[in-house]
Amino acid sequence: MPKYNIQVNGKNQEVDVAEDTPLLWVLRDSLHLVGTKYGCGIAQCGACTVHLDGAAVRSCMFPVSAIGTGKITTIEGLSEKGDHPLQVAWNEVDVPQCGYCQSGQIMTAAALLAENPKPTMNQIVDTMHGNICRCGAYHRIREAVKLASTKI
C-alpha cells in the first residue's frame, strides 16, 4: 500500500493506507484521533468535519490521496487547552446533548469565525445548516457561535 505523509494538528504523520481511504478513517483508525465522528459517510451530516488549510471539509468523503501538502486540523488540534472561544462558549451555553455531532459543529463554526469573526445570525444559520444534530440542539449551537463571536 502507498505511504502518505500528512500534516495533522501540526505534526507530520506517515500513514500506510489505500489511496481511496477517506481521511476520516485515517484520523480515527491510523492516528487514533477519535474526536472526529462518523455519521452518514456520504457528506450529508457534517459529523466528520475537519479543517484542510483552515477550510471545513467532510473527512468521510475526502480521500487521503487528495490531501497533498494541506494542513489538517481536527477537534483535538483546534486549541491547546480546549479554550478556543467556541469551546468556551459551548461550555457556557451548555450546548451538547448526546455530544455526537458536536466536534463537527465546532469545526464548521471555527472555519466560519476564522473567515468572518463577526457573523450575523443569518450567516451563522446559513453556515451551520448542513451540520445535523439529531438531538435538536440547534438553538444552543447558534447561540454559542454568536457568543463566541463576541470573544474573538
**How many residues are given for the chain?**
152
Question: Which range of residues in 12-20, 26-34, 98-106, 117-125 is near ligand FES by CB under 6 A?
Answer: 98-106
Task: Record the cell numbers describing residue 115, joined without a space.
Answer: 473567515
Q: Is residue 133 close enough to count as binding ligand FES by CB under 6 A?
A: yes
For residue 9, what are the contacts with CB-CB under 8 A and spacing of at least 6? 33, 72, 73, 74, 76, 77
User: Looking at 38, 65, 77, 146, which residue binds ligand FES (CB under 6 A)?
Assistant: 38
User: Looking at 54, 82, 99, 117, which residue binds ligand FES (CB under 6 A)?
Assistant: 99
Q: How far is 146 from 148, CA to CA, in rounded Å?
A: 5
Contact assessment for residue 17 and residue 6, using Cβ atoms and an 8 Å cutoff: no
Q: Is residue 88 close enough to count as binding ligand FES by CB under 6 A?
A: no
Shortest Cβ distance from residue 118 to ligand FES (Å)? Answer: 25
What is the footprint of ligand FES within residues 100-119 (CB under 6 A)?
A: 100-102
Q: Is residue 11 close enough to count as binding ligand FES by CB under 6 A?
A: no
The neighbour count for residue 103, using CB atoms within 10 Å, is: 23
- Which residues contact ligand FES (rule: CB under 6 A)? 38-41, 43-48, 58, 60, 96-102, 133-135, 137
